[in-house]
Structure 1
Amino acid sequence: MFKRKVSLILTVALAALLAFGSMASAESRIVLKPKVDAFAYFVDTSPSMSQTYDSTGNPKIIAGLNALKRLNNVVPELGYDSALYAMPDFATYSPKSMFTRAAMAKGIASVPSDLPFFQSTPIGTGFSDLNGVVKNWGGKFAVIFVSDGLTNSGRNPALVVSDMAKTYGDRFCLHIISVADTARGKANLKRLASLTPCGVYVDASALADKAVLDKFAQDVFYTQEEELIVEVVEEVVVPVVPVQEKIVFRNFNFGFDKYQITDEMVPALTEAATMLEEFPNLKVLVGGHTDSSGSEAYNQGLSERRAKSVADWLAANGIAPKRLEVKGYGEMNPKYDNKTKEGRKLNRRVEIDVED
């Protein structure tokens, strides 16, 4: 991907001035991108949630809400919508609106912790009620379910969630924060998380660990991408009028074992070529990378093919080949964790860097 940001300071006389030369510097930054367009916290307030959670000694509902508060404190505000619901009597504690940590914290604080004793636990019915709301949501959405996994009435929750997964496909992710103490409860919740390919299961007590908390938040809500910012400053005769161009190159990511240019890459490549034409003396290094799947020798060749495909596209679209250095790094320079699906996806990349 490629993005251009320009900051210009101009005067009427600029057009009449003669430029003497230019200087370039580069730095990188990590930017966060939302994985979903909306999400819902969904809290189980059935009678079994008033029982003690062995891992903390608190009632399960307290342990679950505390875990939700910890999570809420680290969720970045990236423009997605959010809501907070509870079951078995389907209730709204924070209506769907643009997410802010402060507003959602008020919703979490309003969820009751003094639970009724005589009531059934129909988790399947709860998800049916939730489906009646999220069926009107567009884009990708996630549900973060806080529960002990104990159900004793209504439809099998796995069947309800399975139907939702079939209806929404990869638009829907179900994640679990578990306060289960029984083998049956844990098995039920892990089963629910597995019904969507992106589902993540975590024990509520584990979220007290900052590293686990941050990883869960990233798995659910956002990705990290590295951008290279190239700053070119042109020098002009007195009166000095600095002209700053900031060019941000993002990585081009490829599918597994792929090196061909896709239609999705063309708009970004076109903009990249346009900017490079504006700076005809700027030389670039096109570097290809892979994840750790496959042999080292195969990955070296694949990385070279990926870099060459990007360079060939640029050359075919007006950039002089002599300005383009092509290099393959194989699997040797990962920037993300190859142990995760998301990390491997981000490592299958081509980077465009400005040469000094």
Structure 2
Amino acid sequence: MFGKKMFSVLALTLVAFMALGSMASAETRVVLKPKVDAFAYFVDTSPSMAQSYKSTGNPKIVAALNAMKKLNAVVPELGYQSALYTMPDFATYAPKSTFSRAAMARGISAVPSDLGFFQSTPMGSGFADLDGVLKNWDGKFAVIFVSDGLANSGRSPAVVVADMAKKYGDRFCLHVISVADTPKGVSTLKRLASLTPCGVYVDASDLADKAVLDKFAQDVFYTQEEELIVEVVEQVTEVVPVPVPVQEKIVFRNFNFGFDKYQITDEMIPALTEAAALLEDYPNLKVLVGGHTDSTGPAAYNQGLSERRAKSVADWLAGNGVAADRLVVKGYGEENPKYDNNTKEGRKLNRRVEIDVQD
């Protein structure tokens, strides 16, 4: 939902007032929204994970579990489902349920760090076992694979993951936390992360850097969006003997467009309808409809694209009950990015139209 009302009623004990006009002020806040409906940690417990990780002196499995604990501490609880599984002997250490950091921490702690001996590491079979579980999952889901990338028997893991990517399409993202210490292991894991367009690869040791840790968490689990909070305070002059609402807050969120697109989509209609209804409640407010782009392409083209985006939103509002003379339309091109244009997610969020209140 892109807009909603939040009412605050002040009960007056002696007198209350009837509003004759209104004044508006605005501020923004950042909200977190989940990228996925569910996710699963998938941890490699094959014999090579008992070997020492780089120069730490710790086994790879210990480094892997420590990285997972760091990540778990910064994953926001946004209502997605979560689970924790291991391979090559497929086992469940956190059954699928609504994610909580405390429950997942218990699951991570339960994964054994004293690993048994296996004759081989059939990574492809491990992913096939995981697929047997994921086929029953609904919505969009992510898998965070934690491994050193060493496999020496059975089907190629890249073939199995490629088949999963084809079957699930954009519902499926495979991310990798790597404890690889060989070129072959690194190559295998980077290849797996590249098989889904949204896949992200990170080295476990790099997650000790808070900035890297927070970025990986955001890349995998959530987006940040700004919403505008408009506070409308009613001015009062006439005494009446009953309590009445004296202030309301209106929340607008941004409208995001696809690459090189400016047309209104069906997904925008419910939010636009609500925005129009909110504006009808306050006929004295003028609004600025501002269009923006990412930094892809020539600046002159982006300026025109931003103007077309703003105009499409303003035209829709004008055609659905909002007086056209209340709408100021402006394109900003690529000049006012709010997010990092060097990332796919940042560019997506910068392709936006914002509705703001004119002072």
Bin the TM-score by the shorter chain: over 0.9
Q: Tell me if the contact between 1:235 and 1:242 (Cα under 8 Å) persists in the aligned partners.
A: no
Instruction: Report how far residue 118 of structure 1 moved.
Output: 4.1
Measured at CA, do residues 118 and 254 of structure 1 come closer, stay the same or move farther in structure 2, by a change above 3 Å?
closer
Instruction: Report how far residue 5 of structure 1 moved.
Output: 2.3
Distance 2:55 2:126 in 1: 26
**For 1:234-272, what per-residue CA distance to the aligned partner results, in whole angstroms no more than 9, with x for missing partners?**
234345644322111111111111111111111111111
Measured at CA, do residues 81 and 344 of structure 1 come closer, stay the same or move farther in structure 2, by a change above 3 Å?
same
Q: Tell me if the contact between 2:17 and 2:244 (Cα under 8 Å) persists in the aligned partners.
A: no
Shifted more, 236-245 versus 123-132: the winner is: 236-245
Q: Structure 1, unaligned stretches of length 5 or more?
A: none
Alignment of 1:16-55 (within 5 A): 18-55=18-55
Match of 1:215 in 2: 215
SS of aligned partner of 2:263: coil
| Matching residue's letter, 2:188 | N
**For 1:39-83, what per-residue CA distance to the aligned partner results, in whole angstroms no more than 9, with x for missing partners?**
001110010000011153311000000000000000000000000
Match of 1:346 in 2: 349
List 4+ stretches of structure 1 deviating above 4 A: 10-13
Distance 2:173 2:305 in 1: 32
SS of aligned partner of 1:257: coil
Match of 2:299 in 1: 296
Distance 1:112 1:53 in 2: 16
| Matching residue's letter, 2:212 | V
Alignment of 1:167-316 (within 5 A): 167-236=167-236, 237-238=238-239, 241-316=244-319
Distance 2:99 2:84 in 1: 11
Distance 2:72 2:55 in 1: 21
Q: Tell me if the contact between 1:233 and 1:242 (Cα under 8 Å) persists in the aligned partners.
A: no
Q: Does 1:65 align with 2:72?
A: no
Q: Tell me if the contact between 2:46 and 2:118 (Cα under 8 Å) persists in the aligned partners.
A: no
| Matching residue's letter, 1:104 | M
Pairs aligned (count): 354
CA RMSD of aligned residues (A): 1.7
Measured at CA, do residues 61 and 32 of structure 1 come closer, stay the same or move farther in structure 2, by a change above 3 Å?
same
Match of 2:84 in 1: 84
Q: Tell me if the contact between 1:145 and 1:175 (Cα under 8 Å) persists in the aligned partners.
A: yes
Distance 1:213 1:55 in 2: 21
| Matching residue's letter, 1:243 | V
Match of 1:104 in 2: 104
SS of aligned partner of 1:231: strand
| Matching residue's letter, 1:47 | P
Distance 1:38 1:171 in 2: 10
SS of aligned partner of 1:245: strand
**For 1:20-39, what per-residue CA distance to the aligned partner results, in whole angstroms no more than 9, with x for missing partners?**
32221111000000000000
Instruction: Report how far residue 226 of structure 1 moved.
Output: 0.4
Distance 1:249 1:175 in 2: 33
Shifted more, 217-226 versus 49-58: the winner is: 49-58
TM-score of the two chains, using structure 2 as the length reference: 0.95
